[in-house]
Structure 1
């Protein structure tokens, strides 16, 4: 069965998310920081009157936190009944992948990214890490989106 993934970049790495979870892609806007949240939570932004929690995806994956500029974007994704924003460097494209093309993430020991991976997809010119969105946001204590 084929799946469509939206691919995006964090630094030199390519990632993918199931397109059915994506609600919109919006230009970067500064987030309002919140007290007592994990360091990977960049804050909240106003999404047409709704408070949207925003996660610094690089920081969440254990990498150097992003220093967002006008070139960054926020991917608004549906996680269960809630919306979450993910700060990424740039959106690349949409790819169609067959389930049998998806390979499991290798066991690497201490790699902080692997627990959040659904699998890997080898494309002609790059390797795309397909993120497990529910797992990525499971322990994030964030305000409910209204």
Structure 2
């Protein structure tokens, strides 16, 4: 594998995740959200973001991750192409960095984790310690946001 990918690293439920930077329109501080009655628990509501109505999703609910954060959160707003033309934002615990990752540090094999994991995971990214060749500091789960949101929109149409 040659080249690099550019990702956004964020935190959710005490774990670190990544998504492609090309899918991110912007990252905003948490703002008031208007709840919509009788929607699934993963839809937190809507908000007015610079004059555009944006649907806010709970990534915790979509990924079945226990909500452990009592502090301030962030919203990752996706480009409309990533969310079938809709304005969608996802609540995360924190956003840490944007980084270039060598493709050689990505394990694309998601076998052995079960079918449900393969539905949303593109791969596992090894983040190396500075100055230590070959030594892994931590692992990031690289999410396939397009696939995850496709299943969200399919579920929403069935409801």
Shorter chain as denominator, the TM-score bin is 0.7 to 0.9
CA RMSD of aligned residues (A): 2.1
Partner residue, 1:40: 42
Q: Give 1:3's match in structure 2, choosing from 5, 13, 27.
A: 5
More helix by share: 2
Match of 1:87 in 2: 91
Q: 1:138 aligns with which of 123, 126, 150?
A: 150
Note if contact 2:124-2:139 (Cα within 8 Å) is conserved in structure 1.
yes
2:120 to 97, 113, 116: 116
Cross-structure match for 1:16:
18
Q: Which has the higher contact order (CA 8 A, sep 6+)?
A: 1
Q: Does 1:30 align with 2:32?
A: yes
Q: Secondary structure at the match of 1:33?
A: coil
The structure whose Rg is larger is 2
Structure 2 gap ranges (5+): 129-136
Q: Would you say the 8 A contact 1:56–1:66 is kept in 2?
A: no
